[in-house]
Amino acid sequence: MAEYKLITTEGRAKRGEFKTVHGTIQTPVFMNVGTIAAIKGAVSTVDLHEIGTQVELSNTYHLHVRPGDKVVKQLGGLHEFMNWDRPILTDSGGFQVFSLAKLRKIKEEGVYFNSHIDGHKIFMGPEQSMQIQSNLASTIAMAFDECPSSVADRDYVQKSVARTTRWLKRCKDEMARLNSLPDTINKNQLLFGINQGAVYEDIRIEHAQAIAEMDLDGYAVGGLAVGESHEEMYRILDEVVPHLPQNKPTYLMGVGTPANILEGVERGIDFFDCVYPSRNGRHGHVYTNHGKMNLFNAKYETDTAPIEEGCGCPCCQNYSRAYVRHLLKAKEMLGMRLCVLHNLYYYNHLMTDIRAAIEEGRYAGFKEEALYQMKTYDKQ
């Protein structure tokens, strides 16, 4: 079912289209993160339509723990459960294995760890991750991997990556089996493999070449934005992305700031996701074309302008900086909601502008100007 069409390129930047069973994704795209099948900040799927969201991202581990993937399957899958009719990507639970490091034991068969909610023992391996994601019936499932720390030693990283490759083969086999079962909700579920290797280019390149041969539906670069510098991340992308298939979507996991996205697109990335727009929005930090603003700043107390002039989001169309600041100061939930809506709208429409710039062959200039403008508030 999946079909990735490369519309045009500028340097390594790609403008593509990815057809899925739940609709066509225009790339580059920013996926809006709804970890537990909801965007934090009281934002609904009805809102997501209004702010131009193409893909929603949910988390396999969290939904397995609560309400339980079998419950979601019983209710018709994630799309039915959360009333969303566009693509959904589920991450595999691999990152939780990394972030809940104190609680886990990694073996060849998979990972044993304790629930962060009530401490009960959970086992997750490639087959379990695929089964949970099949129950959730997302559009795109991510392969189960280990995300080694950016400071892990070379020997550990090498062994970890070799195991991730073995796990990927098991994921692919299990997904093929699940997609063939009569009671599977989404029999066209897609699988993306994940490139790992910490900051060692040679390990990453070798891994990219190995997984490229598996002919998956898409490929992700994982294990970045976990402690290494931005420069290091860009260097790794420069080295690795050319070894991933250009005729498949490429996804940079967990990244990032608007500047990171502009740099990632230039290096051939199609898919991005990050909690920044929602997390920062909940704390009154809002993104604009001129950089990030902190609405708690006293200078906005009587400012009647919208967060950003010309912005089409529900917040900027209706409310002033002064009013939103008042809501935030008063700890009124509406303040948080309006900031999250603005930030997600900003990210979604930054991607629209990026796609237009690549199509029109002016991305290099667009990126340079956008990065320059984003520093405006820093200079004041």
Give the active site residues.
91, 273
Dist. CA 271–CA 265, nearest whole Å: 9
The alpha carbon torsion through 197, 237, 193, 67 (nearest 10 deg) reads: 90
Tokens standing for residue 52: 């131009």
Strands of the 111-114 sheet, one edge to the other: 104-106, 111-114, 121-124
Q: Identify the CA nearest to 157 among candidates 249, 225, 223.
A: 223
Tokens standing for residue 30: 């920013």
Dist. CA 339–CA 336, nearest whole Å: 5
Asked if residues 172 and 130 have their Cβ atoms less than 8 Å apart, the reply is: no
Q: What is the DSSP string of 192-226?
A: EEEE--TT-HHHHHHHHHHHHTT--SEEEE-S-SS
Beta bridge partners of 89: 57, 140
What 3-state class would DSSP assign to 43?
Answer: strand
Dist. CA 12–CA 23, nearest whole Å: 26
194 backbone dihedrals φ, ψ, rounded to 5°: -125, 125
Dist. CA 181–CA 355, nearest whole Å: 38
